[in-house]
Structure 1
Amino acid sequence: MTGPYAFAPVAAGRFSGLMSPEFIAAGLTRLFEADRFPGPGFEVEHVHGNIGVTWRVSSPALPCPLFAKRFVHPPLVALRSLFRATGAGRSWRAATIMAETGIPGPRPVAVMSRKAAGLTVESIFVSAAIADPLDRDLERWFRSRFDRPDLGPELLAEKREAIDRLADLYRAAHSQSRLYFPDFHPHNMVVTRENGRLRLWLVDFDEVNFRVRTGDIIKNLASLGRNSVKVQKKMTGGGRITTGDRLRFLRRYLGPDATRDSVHRLWREVLDNWERR
């Protein structure tokens, strides 16, 4: 790839892989040079570790803050790495495909791995942090903004805009056939505001599949529906996710050619899948 997504081979300490030349020049290789990752000389904050362990990494020398996700591969996983990509390799590949297909996500910065006896025992995916997110994730932001009984005109308009942006993100993800996101949920997204307009980003995609099978899109939409019920249960301040909100999402998702029949046909397909779980 070219431009901001160009990568160069790099070796640092016990690690080797690919890294953006811009970040090589900024000294990011030092993060990998110590005996134990992460190396000194950076501000490092442990963030979470559902799959792998994630750190937020920053330094005045870096062009922007980063997230580094580390995957440790026990023996059986290390053996499988002979035949399939590592966790970090899958994340890096997904991030580059997202950039190519127009799915908003973090900029990939580096993918590094450490080998022992010819097997990959550790891999790390580094990406640029999304600048100025409005909250830790979309779900938290949505509840903090709209969990109240009376939204008023401005908040109601903002809620509708958020639903539209969510539908746009799903449509972008479902308009290509190279990636499928099984864990496509609001807690894996962040929201920003750029020039007065909301924008959503998909930031966690460890479980990505590199093919889309029959029924995957409906499963995604049904999963979002089930997730919206969970979010609703957490909204204890009187806010609601209404049938009108769900219909608005489906109309926007289907695009300008959506009709009443096409919206209700999709609604029925989603509900059928939802009820089978």
Structure 2
Amino acid sequence: MEITLVASGGGHTSFAVALGERLLELEPGIRLNILVPRGDLFSVKRITGRLKGRNLTIAFTLKPLNPQERLYKIIARAPASMVEALAVVKKTSAVVCTGSNHSLPPSLIGLLAERTPVFCVEDPYRVYGKSRSVSLVHRLGGFVFLQWREQEKLYKSRGLYAGPIYERPVYKPESKGYVLVMTGTMGHRLLFKTLIRGGLKGRRLVVQAGRLWAGYLRRMLPGNVVFDYDPDIDKWVSGADVVVTHQGVAAIQASQAYGKPVVLAYNPDITLAGGLR
């Protein structure tokens, strides 16, 4: 059996890795085809680092829309993205998507062209309203994995309660005397301003800042560890005293896999994530 997992970057890739771990535990002989956005080498490193020596292949497909881009770009990219996804989906037994517009081409091809079962993971922060990509897949006949019982009211049909989805821990939890700040792909403008102004002053910081902010924060927070991203982020999570992060998968991973105290700092700049409520 072959299963296609769509790892769309950031937290979406974390969901894909977690699902891949569980699938391989249940059926060691299963073959996994993992779709990754073109150029997303961090996701590739994460996948190959966590699913070492497993029966998997990685394929790149064009992401129709990147963060903070205008919607019209989907029109230009969609045809190529659909063709690339078709090459993988036509030989698979099921498609498992993890949200994001990157999941739409393989999901649509699976549902409408190949009659392949499609399952999609709903965002754990979507309790009062559906995410757009997952909602579309559901309306076209896909099944939805729900991470909270409260989400069952959003999906009266084809909603499957799975519980929180997170990767297996790979390190023993310790307390190494630092506060870990994780802000995902795009960073956290308001949280960074607070840190620069002296928030958490006197505490040793390790900051995962995202690709846009890392260089600036290294200059503004001398003496602390600052990086854009680390595919082996678990080593930092496992050693943290406290984790400060935004509304994302990192909070669930830190608390559930490593038992860390987590402080959520809501990021209003992530417009497509779950709202403050």
Q: The TM-score by the shorter chain falls in which range?
A: under 0.3
Return the TM-score normalized by structure 1: 0.21
More helix by percentage: 1
Greater Rg, structure 1 or structure 2? 1
Return the TM-score normalized by structure 2: 0.21
